[in-house]
Amino acid sequence: MPHRVCKEASSYFFSKRKSAMQYTFQVQGMTCAHCERAVTQALQQVDPQASVQIDRAQGKVEVQSSAPREALAAAISEEGYTVVPADQ
């Protein structure tokens, strides 16, 4: 059974974390596994808790994150890829 302090800290953390949103981006220029790693790492620098799924063939990046869409898109762009939001 978790200690009371651990349970309180855990519930505090989760109550302060914004709920995650699902975002989909069309990303042009990803041609290899290195590109996928670069995009994933850039997104996880913005939100270390982000879940990232990439379909390189379709140029689609799906991100579940509590970070704002604009911050995620900027992180991808800063890696040198062209970002077109696929949904609003």
The long-range contacts involving 76-80, CB below 8 angstroms and separated by at least 24 positions, are: 76/25, 76/27, 76/39, 76/42, 76/43, 78/42, 79/38, 79/39, 79/42, 80/29
- pLDDT tens digits for 23-67? 999 999 999 999 999 999 999 999 999 999 999 999 999 999 999
Q: What's residue 19's pLDDT?
A: 84
**Where residue 84 falls among pLDDT bands split at 50, 70, 90?**
confident
The long-range contacts involving 13-19, CB below 8 angstroms and separated by at least 24 positions, are: 17/49, 17/66, 18/66, 19/66
- pLDDT tens digits for 13-35? 444 456 889 999 999 999 999 99
**7 pLDDT above the threshold of 50:** no
Indicate the fold that domain 19-85 takes in CATH.
Alpha-Beta Plaits (3.30.70)
d(CA 30, CA 24): 15
In the chain, what are the domain boundaries?
19-85
